[in-house]
Structure 1
């Protein structure tokens, strides 16, 4: 298999979307290059919408688990594909094992947990020189660089939409496409990254009063916060606020997000997904910093009222919200939405 590359992908949807900058650059360098990505099951739906990816291979080992025997069997299968190089995006030692066990000749990645030998094209990361996660991914496609300023223009994430699937999802969930606003109120690792449910509810009421329909997206574990938002609305408002969290597949979420006039999101994988389908976006940041993982879109407005990065999973306020998120008022978010709202 000539010019075939294996990528050991990140474990989270948002990171996987940012990694598309690497795949797009690899295809730009060599359109004939085959790119296979080893990824957790929950990321494979996103990979299926990236035109650059030839094959998304399921990683049979759970996040953080070693299971050396399973990795060895996987490496034996992958060896048959004749990859000439591997890109290892996570920084853990475990993530570098499969390409090494598969005997892939060139194994590229940033220096991480004692990966000497496992990687033979080992890059030393200067975090100041490459502040953005997407820059760190894209840089691996190049010869070693001293700073992000030397990178070619970064190709932003861009997901393919399934038009037939889009129409089927609209019918399945009885959605109105005119003037829909997407809400993405969930976030991994606790409530500190979340805008409060009562702020989302206040914003939903304002939007519904103007004739908008609100679609709430997220995973199964985000369904309760979607219901908390809806329960703060009147019965007539609830009819125009549809909780799709945990109801759609990831593919359906991609297709429906692309139809929304605008999305309002916490710092989350869905935020990056909205950016990747070119939906205008108001991104709400608190403890986490947009200086590292901003939405990669020309149509995104970031609202953040503090500086710096705070490593925190739970805030001090009720329900664990962080004060910096509470301080972002529904009125401020509503004003930021105006430029993208129709009618």
Structure 2
């Protein structure tokens, strides 16, 4: 069985899709799984041994580009027996159709009744995103209930030689931190400050951890460099040497290598949070308006802190501070995080 998976476009969602690939391989060890995804996903897919290859999705996330989808689908004809479409969008279902893949499986989404011939419409029976992904490994008549569904945790393979090479690249930046054990911070959030723990709380947490003998490495994209610098500059000058800002300086594969070396990680709800969980790093995950009820980090080494109840609150910029932070995250005090972190590490 050759399977084409149309993958998601976000880091966290791509990490959760790994549970599906594992179940597919468990059910049919000889199946070949190719995943079509944006190029930036390649470092993740390359570290998932169940994936045969990543196929670049050249069309941007918001672009319909029907002609390009037709050409791409046509180029994939006679290669696959089954397609599994993970996004819910209408446009994500066109390429398998144009590729003339016999079985096209996915959840009911944007009016795509005629594009999928193995359509699932009981999404409400599977409240977690990872459950919805993994359920697609099963024939429609044989899908286990949510409580019986196997959910193998996502993981990422790392290579010691590659880790050493990555560490050497950043050795000059980290030399002043005196080889202390590392706590990783992931303060970024794709959809704005309302999902971020305040920078001044991160700074206070860094100060408390540095006093305990740790150094801090801050990870993120180039968009997170400003908040990383806010954290670092909020520390007393004498302590700033122990807080290294790597946001925007690492490729995704390098961030994976460096996060794998962390003693523990503290993160907002973000893609890097899911990567830290997949690397089995002790993780304190901080939630505010977003909710762990749908996309929690999948690991046995996680402490989730959320001080409010209920599901997702759709805000992009909070009204509770001049920086746009949400009150539910402002209320999470650094001392609480230190306590949860200490319990994890003990």
- So what's the TM-score if we normalise by structure 2? 0.95
Distance 1:256 1:95, change over 3 A: same
1:114 pairs with 105, 108, 111, which one? 111
Counterpart Cα distance in 1 of 2:227 and 2:39: 24
| Deviation (angstroms), 1:69 | 1.4
| Deviation (angstroms), 1:162 | 2.1
1:158 pairs with 147, 155, 160, which one? 155
Alignment map for 1:51-62 (pairs within 5 Å): 51-62=49-60
Q: CA RMSD in A?
A: 1.3
- Give the secondary-structure state (helix, strand or coil) at the position aligned to 1:86: strand
Corresponding position of 1:311: 314
- 1:208/1:214 contact within 8 Å kept: yes
| Deviation (angstroms), 1:255 | 1.1
Corresponding position of 2:96: 99
- 1:22/1:137 contact within 8 Å kept: yes
- Give the secondary-structure state (helix, strand or coil) at the position aligned to 2:97: helix
Unaligned runs of at least 5 residues, structure 1? none
- 1:87/1:140 contact within 8 Å kept: yes
Corresponding position of 2:139: 143
Counterpart Cα distance in 2 of 1:177 and 1:84: 51
Corresponding position of 1:30: 28
1:11 is the counterpart of 2:1: no
- Give the secondary-structure state (helix, strand or coil) at the position aligned to 1:72: helix
| Deviation (angstroms), 1:78 | 1.2
- 1:179/1:341 contact within 8 Å kept: no
2:129 pairs with 95, 116, 133, which one? 133
Which 4+ runs in 1 deviate beyond 6 A?
Answer: none
Alignment map for 1:13-92 (pairs within 5 Å): 13-80=11-78, 82-92=79-89
Bigger shift: residues 234-243 or 169-178: 169-178
2:281 pairs with 279, 282, 286, which one? 279
| Deviation (angstroms), 1:126 | 3.3
Alignment map for 1:206-225 (pairs within 5 Å): 206-225=208-227
1:239 pairs with 236, 241, 265, which one? 241
Counterpart Cα distance in 2 of 1:125 and 1:228: 45
1:326 pairs with 330, 334, 342, which one? 330
- So what's the TM-score if we normalise by structure 1? 0.96
Counterpart Cα distance in 1 of 2:286 and 2:122: 28
